[in-house]
Chains A and B, each alone.
Chain A
Amino acid sequence: MSQDRPSINDILLTVKTFLDDLGPKLDGEAKYHAQVSSYLLGICEREIRLSAGYDAAEQARLSAFLQEEGPLDDLTAKLCAGIRAGKFDDRWDATLELVLAQTIDKVRIVKPGHLDAMHRDPEPDRSRP
């Protein structure tokens, strides 16, 4: 189904802007919750825009590391179980690199500004509608 304009990202950012304008007019807990709600909508907007590409890249990294194919959730579960069992102790640096890459992508969606300069996305911000 093809929806009319505005896009989902536009709607999320519109509501986010509303909350950002509303927040300063509130006090105490309501003000805090307005800020957190705006933060959550920012996460939603980035996740919708970015997660398909990140998931595909993560699946490819996991497949290469584990030398097997499968759905992303299964591969992630195998990585966790293998780390726990000490199966990758002799590939520690490669495991750490894989885990770091996954956390970088998660943070790119949750709070990009939290990343160290070495991991900031060089692409221009496309979050504006």
Chain B
Amino acid sequence: MADHHDDLRRAIRRRFGERADIANVVVPTLGGVNRTILFDLVDSGATRRLASRQETYRAEDSPFLPASLQFRAMRLAFEEGVPVPEPIFEYDAADGMGSGFVTAFVAGETMPRRIFRGLDGDARLKIAIDLAHLLARLHAIDIAKAGFLEAVPDSVDVIAHYRALFDSYAEAHPAIELGFRWLERHGAPPAPRRLVHGDFRTGNFMIGPEGVRAALDWECAHIGQGIEDIGWLCVRSWRFGQTHYPVGGFAERAPFHAAYEAAGGGRIDPDAVRFWEIFGLVRWAIYNVMQAHGHVARGRRGVAFAAMGRNASLVEYELSMTLAGHYD
């Protein structure tokens, strides 16, 4: 039966043999620059739901990891017991499908507002504690095993990387400048180097009724301070209206910190969280500027990208309010 997924079928048969097939193919419209295909791998009577992810657009100055390094970071995390969709295989040149990979499909909900709808206090806290345990496990990984990430810009100096990215757009944003200046004057409190997820935020977690099922989107993984992940998780933009719950909209800080420390993640310095939260606001504002740049200057046009350019100001407001002490 012709279903326009012959390339995927061929890639599957190259790895699982000529008797393997694909079925129940769904291409969700998620937006963004990755093409996702969900399908069943049917092999010797057994069926397994998988997810294919292909990169369809890559700017030469993209701050995101190439697919091959994402795949390796996910594989390492998976082998070390971090809940992540099991990496199955990576596409190669012979597949003719560009950069990308196939992982296990993890069912559940990622959309923040749907997650928050009908979530009671116990379920909220359970998710926050799951996230703390997940991070503690990730940050306990021996970074000698993640040497393949040492050379990426975020591992060398994550703040300098975003400074350079921002400068490349040559746009005047006083709030972003003030954020950078604050970071420069305060400096990151010293901390040991860890494997960092890099985009650990509400929206990138697969959630089920029992709690957190998987951490998704490893395209910002790098070697850095574990506390970077905690600061990013607490950035106000990821609370999706649940502003009184700084930890991703799920919980207050104290129970999350206690769970992370009890799971062996190390002591959390609130000043360090604040530092990385300020950086997170600067970084998220720059992401929005980056999307506008793609729209205005790179021909990667669309209403969503245009809106993100203007939404930079919303993040700049949150950054200014946080620096002024009005927002925590």
Q: List residues of A whose CB falls within 8 A of some B CB.
A: 28-29, 32-33, 36-37, 39-40, 43, 73, 76-77, 79-80, 83-84, 86, 89, 95-100, 102-104, 106-107, 110-111, 114-116, 118
A32/B31 contact (C-beta < 8 A), A40-B307, A116-B326 known: yes
Q: Is B48 part of the binding interface, using a Cβ–Cβ cutoff of 8 Å? A: no
Q: B313: which of A28, A39, A98, A110 is its contact (CB, 8 Å)?
A: A110
Contact assessment for A28 and B178 in the assembled complex, using a CB-CB cutoff below 8 Å: no
Residues of chain B touching chain A, judged by Cβ–Cβ distance below 8 Å, are 29, 31, 172-175, 177-178, 180-181, 185, 302-304, 306-307, 310-311, 313-314, 316-317, 319-321, 323-324, 326-327
Of A73, A83, A86, A100, the residue contacting B321 (CB under 8 A) is A100
Nearest-Cβ distance from residue B10 to partner chain A, whole angstroms: 28
Residues of B within 8 A of A116 (CB): 321, 326-327
User: Majority SS of interface residues in chain B?
Assistant: helix
Bound-complex Cα distance A86 to B49 (A): 55
The residue from B174, B185, B302, B310 contacting A99, defined by CB atoms under 8 A apart: B174
Contact status B181-A36, CB under 8 Å: no
A96-B313 contact in complex given A36-B303, A36-B304, C-beta closer than 8 Å: no
Instruction: Given A77-B172, A80-B172, A84-B180, answer yes or no on A100-B320 (Cβ-Cβ < 8 Å).
Output: yes
Known: A32-B31, A96-B324, A118-B326. Is A107-B174 also a contact (CB below 8 A)?
A: no
A79 touches B326 (CB 8 A): no
Q: Which residues of A contact B327 (CB under 8 A)?
A: 116
Choose from B180, B307, B317 the contact partner of A106 (Cβ within 8 Å).
B317
In the docked arrangement, what's the CA distance between A86 and B180, Å? 11
Residues of B within 8 Å of A115, CB to CB, are 317
* In the bound complex, CA of A43 to CA of B319 (Å): 21
Task: Please state if A83 and B177 are interface contacts (CB–CB under 8 Å).
Answer: yes
Beyond A33-B303, A77-B172, A118-B326, 8 additional contacts (C-beta under 8 Å) are: A33-B304, A43-B310, A79-B177, A80-B172, A84-B177, A96-B323, A97-B324, A98-B174
